[in-house]
A = this chain, B = another copy of it.
Amino acid sequence: MKTIDINCDLGESFGVYKLGQDAEIMPYISSANIACGFHAGDPRVMVQTARLAKKHGVAVGAHPGYPDLVGFGRRDMAMLPDEIEAMLLYQIGALAGICRAEGVDLVHVKPHGALYNKAAKDLPLAMIIAKTVKSFSKELVLVGLAGSRSIEAGEAVGLQVLSEGFADRVYERDGSLRSRKLPGAMITDPKEVAQHGLELAKNGVTALVEGRTVHWAIQTICLHGDEPKAVENARALMNILKPGS
């Protein structure tokens, strides 16, 4: 019997601003990527999200991003390597400190937004991220886009990696995600999301890269928590992946 991880970006509220449906989604996922206060989240939200994850037995990971709250970490920034190292350690450490006080293990790290997307294509950046995660702890798991530089870098430094697939996103033939600026980039029907997630879990991603057919296995499936049907998507995906439950 094969198992697969379902992850979701959570803890993205900030002060009075609510984002996502953390409490509703928690029952249907196995890993929570918690925002660390730079692109989203604040210390109190982080505490509450760590507690919620603990209550549901969901693995906690850090979801560090660029220092750009108003841009939600989705705008690329020209940061130097030592700036990236330091901001990653700061954010991972901040969440780890909260986890320690709450009696929760910090299991994985998944970069957010523009940092995630850039690292997927930029090996030097991916290596900085992988080395920094390892410098915090060799036990941390690094989550990255299947087939990307992030996975390559994580493996190169000897970290355990999880190749990620997106149940609610359409893939291009080259294995990249269709830009959300294009129509039809998101899969919005919960049944289709679940079916796509099952396909990713069973068969991974097959892509045509520089004229060659490549195949990437998927170890964790991401669901977006801020989609209108996020909870239905999560429930449908869990049901299709755990037929016995």
Contacts of A83 in B (CB 8 A): 43-44, 71
Chain B, Cβ-Cβ closest to A15:
B70
Q: How far is the CA of A14 from the CA of B86 in the complex (A)?
A: 13
Contacts of A40 in B (CB 8 A): 16
A239 interfacial by beta-carbon distance below 8 Å: no
Q: How many residues of A contact B (CB 8 A)?
A: 46
Complex contact B86–A98 (CB within 8 A): yes
Chain B, Cβ-Cβ closest to A92:
B97
Closest-CB distance, A29 to chain B (whole angstroms): 21
Closest-CB distance, A93 to chain B (whole angstroms): 2
Closest-CB distance, A227 to chain B (whole angstroms): 13
Task: Spell out A's residues near B (CB within 8 Å).
Answer: 14-19, 37, 40, 42-44, 46-47, 67-72, 75-79, 82-83, 85-87, 89-98, 100-101, 114, 132, 135-137
Closest-CB distance, A220 to chain B (whole angstroms): 23
Closest-CB distance, A37 to chain B (whole angstroms): 7
Contacts of A68 in B (CB 8 A): 67, 77
